[in-house]
Chain A
């Protein structure tokens, strides 16, 4: 394969990869705003991870729940 064809393939590959990432990124953006609006998940509460961060305060979300879900 000569250089020309390689470069052409590379150009197309790049275009479609960027397009793909672009779509993923914006659907992610849309999905988190939608979930916030419908109340499925409150993202803004995670600020509390900073404001309430002493070792003996109750975690915002217990990790144990995660383990239980898995089983």
Chain B
């Protein structure tokens, strides 16, 4: 029977595919529904935070920073409470990372401030002597893509039922409303910053990448 298979490429391919594929079906599908339930209190990202998340992705921060606290004392002492599945319910894509060239950022919002991030993104090794992180001055001049962040949020709402615009949840509304809200949020961040160009840009209605990124990092708790 097996020899028969080996001389018939079509049936061979079918058998091969089944052998390879079925681990996936058994392993992945059954836990899907359960794992996508959000933990109580977890909220979707605001538009500004999503724009910052996109900056995080664009510059591949996840190449060096994880967002996953494992359940060991040495990790909870260093980074805070270990991660729960439901905390990631609104993360598309997930950003766990696979390498800690730098520290974990899962709960960085608990122990770093806007001011700290501002200095650190401009010149990491001046804030943390010995740091090998690159400086990111371009984030102070590049503009954050709020429109795409809105599209991102709206896609989540329309396609995946992420609870925007519900009681106790972030408001999304129309593009104009969301844009105005993002600018307000950005102003609140820029108030705590020192860089004059960034302050001027925000006052003029533009949002530099670094402001969005800080909004995102502050939301990680």
Q: How would residues 67 to 82 of chain B score, 1 for a CB under 8 Å from any chain A CB and 0 otherwise? A: 0000000000000000
B interface: dominant SS: helix
A70 CB to closest chain B CB, in angstroms?
Answer: 11
Min CB–CB distance A15 → chain B (angstroms): 11
Closest A residue by C-beta to B2? A28
A 1-50 contacts with B by CB, 8 A: 3, 6-7, 10, 13-14, 17, 28, 31-32, 41
Report Cα–Cα, A14/B34, bound state, in Å. 19
B34 to chain A, nearest CB (A): 6
Q: Mark B39-65, 1 if CB is under 8 A from A, else 0.
A: 000000000000000000000000000
Q: Which residues from A are CB-within-8-Å of B34?
A: 3
Within 8 A of A (CB), among B1-45: 2-3, 7, 22, 26, 30, 34
Query: A55 an interface residue at 8 Å Cβ cutoff?
Result: no
Give complex CA distance A66, B7 in Å: 9
Across-interface contacts of B26 in A (CB, < 8 A): 10, 13-14, 17
Residue of chain B at shortest CB distance from A17: B26
Task: Using known A-B contacts A6-B30, A10-B30, determine if residue A17 contacts B22 with beta carbons closer than 8 Å.
Answer: yes
- Min Cβ gap B138→A in Å is 47
Cα distance, A10 to B7, chains bound together (Å)? 35
Distance between A55 CB and nearest chain B CB, rounded to angstroms: 20
0/1 string, A43-71, CB within 8 A of B gives 1 = 00000000000000000000000100000
Separation of A6 and B32 alpha carbons in the complex (Å): 12
Q: Which residue of A lies closest to B3 (CB)?
A: A41
B: residues with CB less than 8 A from A are 2-3, 7, 22, 26, 30, 34
Give the B-binding residues of A (Cβ under 8 A).
3, 6-7, 10, 13-14, 17, 28, 31-32, 41, 66
Known: A14-B26, A66-B7. 9 other contacts (CB 8 A): A6-B30, A7-B30, A10-B26, A10-B30, A13-B26, A17-B22, A17-B26, A28-B2, A32-B2
The 4 closest A-B pairs by CB, nearest first: A10-B30, A28-B2, A14-B26, A3-B34
